[in-house]
Amino acid sequence: MRLIKCSLIFMILVNYTFAQTFTNSYLNNGISVDTKEQKEIRTYEDYMELESLLKKAITQGDQSKYFSLGALYLEDFPFKKADKEKAKIYLNKALNLGYGLASLALIEDYIMIGDLDNALLLLEKGLKGKNTDPNSKIVLAVTYNGIVLDYKFTNMPYVHKALDLTYPISQITNVSSLDFSIANLLNIAGNYEEAKKYLNTACNNPNVEPTIKNACDNSMGIKNNIKKSTECTTCGLGALK
Residues 49-65 as b or e (16 or more Cβ within 10 Å = b): ebbebbeebbeeeeebb
Quote the pLDDT of residue 42.
87
pLDDT band for position 216 (cuts 50, 70, 90) = confident
Contact, 40 vs 46, CB < 8 A?
A: yes
The domain that holds 153 is classified in CATH as 1.25.40
More confident residue, 171 or 36: 171
Gap between the Cα atoms of 87 and 95, Å rounded: 12
pTM assigned to the model: 0.78
pLDDT over 50 (residue 14): no
CA separation for the pair 143, 107 (Å, rounded)? 10
Answer yes or no: is pLDDT of 232 > 50: no
pLDDT digits (tens, 9 = 90+) for 39-89: 578 899 999 999 999 999 999 999 999 999 999 999 889 999 999 999 999
Q: What is the pLDDT of residue 35?
A: 35
174 has a pLDDT exceeding 90: no
Q: 211 is in which domain, residue-wise?
A: 2-240
Tell me the backbone φ, ψ of residue 3, rounded to 5 degrees: -100, 140
pLDDT higher than threshold 80 for residue 235: no
DSSP state of 224: S
Q: H or E element: which one contains 240?
A: strand 239-240
Provide, rounded to the nearest whole percent, the portion of the chain with pLDDT above 90: 57
3-state DSSP helix/strand/coil % of the chain, to nearest 5 = 65, 5, 35
Mean pLDDT of 205-212: 86
Mean pLDDT rounded to a whole number for the chain? 79
Q: What's the total number of domains in the chain?
A: 1
Lowest-confidence segment of 38-42, 119-123, 154-158, 206-210 by average pLDDT: 38-42
Q: In what order do the strands lie in the sheet with 239-240?
A: 2-3, 239-240, 226-227
Q: Which residues contact 105 (CB under 8 A, 6 or more apart)?
A: 18, 22, 70, 71, 74, 87, 91
Asked whether the predicted pLDDT for residue 128 surpasses 80, the reply is yes
Write down the pLDDT at residue 219: 58
